[in-house]
């Protein structure tokens, strides 16, 4: 079960109710900027992780301005749509409430999930970047650590993403094999432990570099499974390689 650090108390709490009731996940941002987009990305990851665990989720976006820009940028990064969090009333009887915000943001009652700021090394540094590479660059740091986006970081993310997509397309030609039990346990253990996405990425790097004892079909299934959380379109190039 996913457990998350409540920034109000510093304690780890269940992100999903014990009886699999509805969890409300609400992103709170003041307006459009890179830090706000990171808040939406973390909210998307929370929703994906909860759904992978079988928890029904109600995802909302609360922002006083720049809704169109926020929704467009989120969609470009592969963030699934949110309902409007303004004037939602008392809710739908949700059993758990997660409030995702930037550091110091004011939010209603509920488990508080804080996301550190994004700094751009140069103006408009992310313009023209592959949105999935930008997503990967943001996923590489713990959500509580500030991120500095610069040309080097984005170029590294683009190289990694391109290499992984080519590898997945190649592995897809091999006989399918199940995700090894120990690898599946490491992946689930990582994202269910306070949504430790950097550790998920480290597991994928280890699978990529593993020796021939790990069949390519198992590598493929591992990457496809992890991508249900990561949302990097790692299987996008299937069929592109002969």
Tens-place pLDDT, residues 107-161 = 778 899 999 999 886 655 566 678 899 999 999 999 999 999 888 889 999 999 9
User: Three-class SS of residue 168?
Assistant: helix
Mean pLDDT of 20-27: 88
Mean pLDDT on 173-178:
94
Q: What is the pTM of this model?
A: 0.92
Q: For residue 239, count CB atoms less than 10 angstroms from its CB and return exposed for 0-12, middle for 13-18, buried for 19 or more.
A: exposed
The residues spanned by each domain of the chain are 3-115, 155-230
Nearest to 55, CA basis, from 106, 8, 4, 6: 4
Contact residues for 206 (Cβ-Cβ < 8 A; gap 6+): none
pLDDT-derived band at 61 (thresholds 50, 70, 90) equals very high
Instruction: Say yes or no: domain 155-230 is CATH 1.20.120.
Output: yes
Number of H helices, E strands in the chain: 7, 9
- Give the number of other Cβ atoms within 10 Å of residue 210's Cβ: 15
Between vectors from CA 223 to CA 217 and to CA 225, what angle results, nearest 5°? 100
**Largest separation between any pair of C-alpha atoms in the chain:** 56
Report, in this order, helix, strand and coil percent for the chain, each rounded to 5.
40, 15, 45
Closest to 30 in 3D by CA, of 76, 82, 68, 66: 66
Please give the pLDDT value at position 130. Answer: 80
Give the confidence band of 46 by pLDDT, cuts at 50, 70, 90. Answer: very high
Look at residue 124 and give its three-state secondary structure. coil
User: For residue 238, what are the β-bridge partners?
Assistant: none
């Amino acid at each position: 079960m996913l457990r998350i650090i409540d920034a109000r108390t510093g304690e780890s709490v269940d992100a999903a109710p014990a009886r699999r009731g509805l969890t409300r996940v609400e992103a709170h941002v003041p307006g459009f900027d890179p830090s706000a987009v990171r808040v939406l990305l973390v909210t998307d990851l929370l929703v994906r992780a909860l759904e992978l665990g079988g928890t029904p989720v109600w995802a909302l976006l609360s922002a006083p301005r720049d809704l169109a820009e926020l929704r467009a940028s989120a969609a470009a990064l592969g963030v699934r749509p949110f309902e409007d969090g303004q004037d939602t009333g008392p809710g739908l009887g949700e059993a758990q409430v997660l409030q995702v915000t930037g550091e110091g943001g004011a939010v209603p009652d509920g488990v508080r999930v804080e996301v550190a700021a994004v700094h751009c090394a140069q103006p408009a540094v992310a313009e023209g970047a592959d949105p999935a590479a930008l997503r990967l660059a943001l996923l590489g740091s713990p959500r509580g650590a500030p991120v500095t986006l610069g040309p080097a970081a984005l170029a590294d993310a683009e190289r990694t993403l391109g290499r992984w997509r080519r590898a997945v397309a190649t592995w897809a030609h091999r006989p399918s094999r199940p995700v090894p039990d120990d690898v599946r346990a490491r992946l689930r253990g990582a994202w269910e432990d306070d949504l430790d996405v950097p550790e998920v990425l480290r597991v994928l790097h280890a699978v990529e570099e593993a020796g021939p004892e790990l069949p390519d079909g198992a590598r493929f299934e591992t990457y496809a499974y992890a991508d249900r959380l990561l949302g990097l379109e790692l299987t996008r190039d299937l069929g592109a390689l002969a």
